[in-house]
Amino acid sequence: MHYSFFATCSKGLESLLEQELLSFQSSNVKQTVAGVFFSGTLTNAYRAIMFSRLANRIILILRQAPVLDQDDLYRIAGDVCWTDHLQSDMSFAITAVGSTEKLNHTQFIAQKIKDAVVDQFRAKDLLRPNVSRTEPDVLIHAVIKQDKLTLGIDLAGHSLHRRNYRKEQGEAPLKETLAAALLMRAGWPALATQPQAMLYDPMCGSGTLLIEGLLMALDIAPGLLRGTTLSAWLLHDQAAMNAVIKEAQSRQAAAASWSGRACGSDIDAPSIGMAIRNAERAGVASSVEFRVQALAEAAPPQTPTLVICNPPYAERLGDEPEVAMLYTELGNLLRTHAFGSQAAIFTAKPEFGRMLGIHSHKQYALFNGALPAKLLLFDITVERIYQKKTVEVSTDSIWKKSTRSAAEDSQTSSLAPSARSSETPSETAPASSSATASAGSPATTPSVPVIELDAGAQMFANRLRKNLKTLGKWAQQQGLQCYRLYDADMPEYAFAIDVYGNHVHMQEYKAPASVSDEDAALRRRQAYQAVTQVLQLPPKQISLKVRERQRGAEQYRPAPVQGEDFVVQEGPAKYLVNLERYLDTGLFLDHRPIRKYIYEHARNTHFLNLFCYTGSVTVQAALGGARRSISVDMSKTYLSWAERNFELNGISTTQHELVPMDCLRFLKQCRQKFDLIFLDPPTFSNSKSTDNVLDIQRDHKELIDLCMQSLSSQGLLIFSTNHRRFKLDESLTESYQLEDYSKQTIDKDFARNVRIHRVWLIRHPAEAAIKRSQ
């Protein structure tokens, strides 16, 4: 007897599933979205259940008819003789997808079909079967598409994508059916017939791609792994199913002598453990070797026939630099260890494929769940490997090592990598002077491969090289290790790029609503590629962030990636910075001239630093000869950072006190007098650490008045704000001597952004100062 069937599949796999069903001798095979119709005997359906590596469900179609509303739905469902398909003592469930104008809720659709089934049993004076949402005996499937209802029964009763070997998995694993489709598109079934064929995945995770590839090569039917039971549908032909089972067992036995191998590696040891156990459950462990190995160190035991992998997708912005470099490392591996092989890279970031350095000869659009992705196919041959372009660096470039900088003379490195906890500042020491980068220039890294830049990335790279000739040279002349290299010079590339010794901090300003996410992502990748190539730095030394308004405690909240602390030098001071842990790095580069001013005017003073952040200004004051100081901030996180900066510079916390307190409260309680005060409040703060909500525009007069009460008669208050639309209260000019000192505090690297901050020098009026001194 012939039946009509519908095989469901993931979107994008329809044509492959059509080929599979034709190989099972099915007839009337026709694709549709997310599935394929076919007809044949129950044996054809059982072959699909047993052998298909792509289908999710095989549905026996009971009824197809136009449907507009709930009356049509109930009538069509009632036309099926349900007592032929299940009994009163059996359970059933209904899945529904699709809608019409009047049937727009799948739960309601399933409810009406359930009513039709139950009412039919009652009309025949039979007990109604029970509904079970977990492991029902019979699963009824309803699809509404273009006002047409297709009603049927799931013959297997469960999803066919499960093979029962993947009892555990890592993050974001590939669905088994998708993994099989990738292997088919890559030509693995034919490649596996070659003598000593080898399948290789250098980022194998829990091993799904390799295991599915071995199941193909060894002709192990997915149905044998799942178990050979069918649903409890009353009309199953068990004899026909037994014949299909016997066929599958015979095919597996015939392929057992396959001479090929598979090899997988991954940097994550727990994932490799999962992969080994998954392979054992799948019965392919003897044909595969797994290794814990970083991609940069990976190498197959022999030249692979097919290299296939699914690199990370960089779903979070901060992941993009590292993932982009993975593609570069993968390209190196392919050219070095897989020359003459085939390669297949599945990615949701197809633009990263250019970083492989190899031309793709074919691409397939697919989906990983709901995420659009592409499978890129490569022939690893001379003709398809990009011709590399050399990045030219002139002989007078800042990259060239010059005479020792002031930082080198003080035996301090611009890079002090440390994997130690931030709780142990004494263990975060500068690297040896031999590792010191010259001021203003990140050290070149010859191991970073040169990739071909597209037009946008090349344009951005040209601007970076231009800035290096001016700002880089200026920084070197000034003995600066930390400076701003680029600040949204080109409007379409809205980044601030800062050099911190041998590291680079990229901050992407929030894109306007008119810029699509796709365009923003493209520009982000182009900028990152340009920075990588021009500065020749590996991804671990490049940080990329999107700058958005931070509210309350968000500015103190650690990022998912903690990063590492390292030491930079500014004048006589050393600072610990971290480019990943928080929104800011621990050192405001635009305040460099202010710190220098305080260093030059701090001798023999009693210094107060309000909203002190990581204490960088206090460090300069102490090194400049301040007798005593108090640094106040309500963030214990930043005060701990300041304490480590003090220790790094040999500054005693006995003479230079750190106070965890709200600054407004501190000023109201303060009974001391200070010779020099630095006041640099945030624009806005509503931290949970205090009941006070700070608005600098509203509150700056009160803060300044309180500071002046604590300022000695001949003292100086330095008030700074980065509020772009800030307006100083005019009444302050009547009470104090004010000097707008902003222009003098803008260094060359911030000349494009002169409103990065405003600075006033505030003193008591001359007559008031005389009275106070008497």
Q: Give a yes or no: residue 139 inside a domain.
A: yes
Does residue 45 share a domain with residue 140? yes
Does residue 592 share a domain with residue 563? no
Does residue 501 share a domain with residue 411? yes
Of 577, 607, 634, at which residue does a domain stop? Answer: 577
Structure confidence at residue 69 (pLDDT): 93
Does residue 341 share a domain with residue 195? yes
Pick the closest to residue 480 from 315, 338, 605, 592 (CA basis): 592
The tokens for 771 are: 């009275």
CATH number at residue 305: 3.40.50.150
755 CB neighbour count, 10 Å cutoff: 13
Does residue 275 share a domain with residue 202? yes
Place of tokens 């008591």: 764
- What's the pLDDT tens digit per position in 86-138? 999 999 999 999 988 899 889 999 999 999 999 999 999 999 999 998 889 99
Q: Give a yes or no: residue 331 inside a domain.
A: yes
667 CB neighbour count, 10 Å cutoff: 21
Q: Give a yes or no: residue 627 inside a domain.
A: yes
Q: Give a yes or no: residue 592 inside a domain.
A: yes
Does residue 612 share a domain with residue 523? no
Contact between 668 and 676 under an 8 Å Cβ cutoff? The reply is: no
- What's the pLDDT tens digit per position in 701-737? 999 999 999 999 999 999 999 998 899 999 999 999 9
The two beta strands, 148-154 and 57-66, are: antiparallel
Q: Say whether 262 sits in a helix, a strand or coil.
A: strand
Does residue 649 share a domain with residue 573? no
The tokens for 102 are: 């009047």
Contact between 202 and 239 under an 8 Å Cβ cutoff? The reply is: no
Does residue 405 share a domain with residue 502? yes
Residue 646 belongs to what H/E stretch? helix 636-648
- What's the pLDDT tens digit per position in 595-645? 999 999 999 999 999 999 999 999 999 999 999 999 999 999 999 999 999
393 CB neighbour count, 10 Å cutoff: 15
CATH number at residue 475: 3.30.750.80
* Backbone φ and ψ of 529, nearest 5°: -60, -40
Structure confidence at residue 355 (pLDDT): 81
Does residue 712 share a domain with residue 677? yes
> At a CB cut-off of 8 Å and minimum separation 6, what does 88 contact?
121, 126, 127, 128, 129
The whole-angstrom separation of Cα 706 and Cα 234 is: 87
pLDDT lower than 70: segments of the chain: 170-172, 314-321, 382-451, 512-513, 547-562, 686-692, 767-774
Contact between 304 and 204 under an 8 Å Cβ cutoff? The reply is: no
Structure confidence at residue 687 (pLDDT): 56
User: How many Cα atoms within 13 Å fall on the side-chain side of residue 91?
Assistant: 9
Does residue 267 share a domain with residue 138? no
Q: Say whether 519 sits in a helix, a strand or coil.
A: helix
Does residue 463 share a domain with residue 437? yes
Q: Give a yes or no: residue 115 inside a domain.
A: yes
Contact between 572 and 410 under an 8 Å Cβ cutoff? The reply is: yes
Does residue 573 share a domain with residue 431? yes
> At a CB cut-off of 8 Å and minimum separation 6, what does 328 contact?
355, 356, 357, 448, 449, 451
Q: Give a yes or no: residue 249 inside a domain.
A: no
The whole-angstrom separation of Cα 389 and Cα 645 is: 43
Boundaries of domain holding 465: 390-577
Q: Give a yes or no: residue 519 inside a domain.
A: yes
CATH number at residue 147: 3.30.2130.30
Structure confidence at residue 430 (pLDDT): 30
Structure confidence at residue 78 (pLDDT): 95
Of 342, 368, 384, at which residue does a domain stop? Answer: 384
Structure confidence at residue 319 (pLDDT): 59
Give me the amino acid identity at 44: N
Q: Give a yes or no: residue 328 inside a domain.
A: yes
The domain tally of the chain equals 4
Structure confidence at residue 650 (pLDDT): 96
Length in residues, the chain: 774
Place of tokens 């595969």: 288
Structure confidence at residue 526 (pLDDT): 87
The whole-angstrom separation of Cα 18 and Cα 354 is: 32
Of 384, 410, 441, at which residue does a domain stop? Answer: 384
Contact between 68 and 102 under an 8 Å Cβ cutoff? The reply is: yes
